[in-house]
Structure formats: structure tokens, C-alpha cells
């Protein structure tokens, strides 16, 4: 720990300095976009850039207001409704997100929109998720969509507590698409929640082997080490996670707690 601490202090100081600089840049960019939109209010490209900037700063209410302006101009654009639903979801307004995904689907029944709706249904324990996945697999032959449907079905069964079925589906998803990283995480979460930390750790370790730049794989290894009272390894892996993703606040908080 004494060896790791100086590095960690330097890293956190550097992060704070970088964060302050980035915040100033973000504010300047937001101001610039506002000025440009005031000058060119009919520019769709400018407004979309503004929405993306607001989204990146988690200013979802403001982003939704801007999206409503675009929808008012073209209410038959499924991409606008789809983007609004995604913003609703990020803002944790599940009911409104479902409504807007459905609006997008009524205009154009694309696989991506259907998958987003199915995933939200799975998270809320609604078995409509499974019906949508069946429709997608019957309609599209792309292997990617097959992996997506397996994952979403696994999420549904995990949320309703059928962990054996969920693990089976996550394994099938990984066999279909070896680099489907969130499938590793969801499988690991099942064992973590059961307090089977060694099994969970092995799954997160495998995820890190598949994608060595995947910060969440190191974060969850750290969580397992912390749960097993291995403080030194927990610190080391929280640091790895934070190094790969400086915005991983949970890792930063864990380091403050442990050091």
C-alpha cells in the first residue's frame, strides 16, 4: 500500500486538474453552441450537436427540451423519438422511455429500436422482452442480433431470479459473440450477489483477458477482492479501473475509502 499511495495521490491530483480544465472546455462549448443556435435556429446539425453535448454532461432535462424542438419540426422522424427515449432512459424515466420507444417503432420497426425496448422490458421484469427477441430472431439473420437477444433474455431471467436460466443464456451469448463484454459482467454479478466471490472474480478476470482495456472488468475484480478482504489487490484493481476510465467515480470513491 505504501508503494501504491504516492502514485494514487499523483493520479488523483492530475485527474482533478484535468477535470477542471475539461469542465471549462465543456462550458465554453455549450456557450458556443447556444450562440450558434440563436444565430441559426433552423440548423438541425447544430441542435443535434447541442443535444449530444448536453447528454455528455448528464444535462438530460435540457437535452430533452432540445429534442422536443426537433420533434415539433418533424414528428415522423423515428430517430428523434428513439433518441428521446434513450435520454428518458438515462434520466431514469422508464415509463416515458417505453412510450417513446413505441412511438419510434410505430414509425419504423428497426431491430435497434426493438432491442432497446426489449432491454428495458427485461430490466423491468416484463416478459414482453422475450416476445420481442423472438420477433427479432425470426426476422433478422445477423449473428449480432442473435447475441443481443440471448443477452437480453438472460437479463430478464436474472431479474426475475431464475439465475440458472440466466447463466445458460449468458454463456450462449458469449459462445455466439466472445467479446460481448456485458454478458461476462451480468454472469459475474449473479455469483457476486450470491456472495460466491471467487467464482465471480474468475469471470471478471476472463472478461479482462478478452478485453484488457475494459475498465469495468477491473472494477469488479476490485469489488471481489474487497469483499474477500484482500485490500491490497482491491486498491490495485480500483486503480487499474480508474486509469482506464477516469470518469469511473465508484472506483475513485472506493480508493478514498480504502486508503
Long-range contacts of 79-84 (CB under 8 A, 24+ apart): 79/104, 81/107, 82/112, 82/113, 82/116, 83/51
Q: Do the first three CATH levels of 29-108 and 195-259 match, i.e. the same topology?
A: yes
Residue 102's closest CA among 86, 113, 94?
Answer: 113
Q: Does residue 15 surpass a pLDDT of 50? A: no
pTM: predicted TM-score of the whole model, two decimal places:
0.84
Q: Per residue in 147-182, pLDDT tens?
A: 999 999 999 999 999 999 999 999 999 999 999 999
Residue 29 has what pLDDT?
Answer: 86
Domain boundaries, the chain: 29-108, 195-259
Which CATH fold would you assign to the domain 195-259? 1.25.40
What are the helix (H) ranges across the chain?
4-39, 44-56, 60-73, 78-90, 94-107, 111-123, 128-139, 143-159, 163-176, 181-193, 197-210, 215-227, 231-244, 249-258
Q: Per residue in 214-241, pLDDT tens?
A: 999 999 999 999 999 999 999 999 999 9
Residue 57 has what pLDDT?
Answer: 92
CATH homologous superfamily of domain 29-108?
A: Tetratricopeptide repeat domain (1.25.40.10)
Amino acid at each position: 500500500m505504501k508503494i501504491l499511495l504516492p502514485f494514487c495521490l499523483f493520479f488523483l491530483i492530475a485527474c482533478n486538474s484535468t477535470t477542471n480544465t475539461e469542465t471549462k472546455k465543456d462550458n465554453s462549448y455549450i456557450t458556443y453552441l447556444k450562440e450558434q443556435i440563436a444565430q441559426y435556429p433552423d440548423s438541425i446539425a447544430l441542435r443535434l450537436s447541442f443535444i449530444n453535448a448536453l447528454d455528455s454532461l448528464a444535462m438530460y432535462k435540457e437535452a430533452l427540451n432540445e429534442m422536443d424542438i426537433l420533434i415539433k419540426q418533424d414528428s415522423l422522424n423515428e430517430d428523434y423519438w428513439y433518441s428521446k427515449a434513450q435520454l428518458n432512459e438515462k434520466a431514469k424515466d422508464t415509463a416515458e422511455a417505453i412510450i417513446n420507444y413505441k412511438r419510434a417503432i410505430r414509425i419504423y420497426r428497426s431491430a435497434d429500436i426493438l432491442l432497446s425496448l426489449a432491454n428495458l422490458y427485461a430490466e423491468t421484469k416484463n416478459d414482453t422482452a422475450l416476445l420481442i427477441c423472438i420477433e427479432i430472431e425470426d426476422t433478422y439473420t445477423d449473428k449480432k442480433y442473435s447475441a443481443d437477444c440471448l443477452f437480453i433474455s438472460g437479463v430478464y431471467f436474472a431479474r426475475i431470479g431464475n439465475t440458472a436460466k440466466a447463466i445458460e443464456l449468458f454463456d450462449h451469448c458469449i459462445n455466439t459473440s466472445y467479446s460481448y463484454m456485458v454478458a461476462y459482467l451480468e454472469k459475474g454479478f449473479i455469483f457476486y450477489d450470491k456472495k460466491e466471490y471467487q467464482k465471480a472474480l474468475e469471470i471478471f478476470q476472463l472478461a479482462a483477458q478478452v478485453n484488457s482495456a475494459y475498465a469495468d472488468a477491473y472494477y469488479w475484480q476490485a469489488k471481489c477482492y474487497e469483499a474477500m478482504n484482500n485490500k491490497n489487490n482491491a486498491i490495485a484493481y480500483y486503480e487499474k479501473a480508474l486509469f482506464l476510465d477516469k470518469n469511473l467515480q465508484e472506483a475513485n470513491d472506493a480508493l478514498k475509502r480504502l486508503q
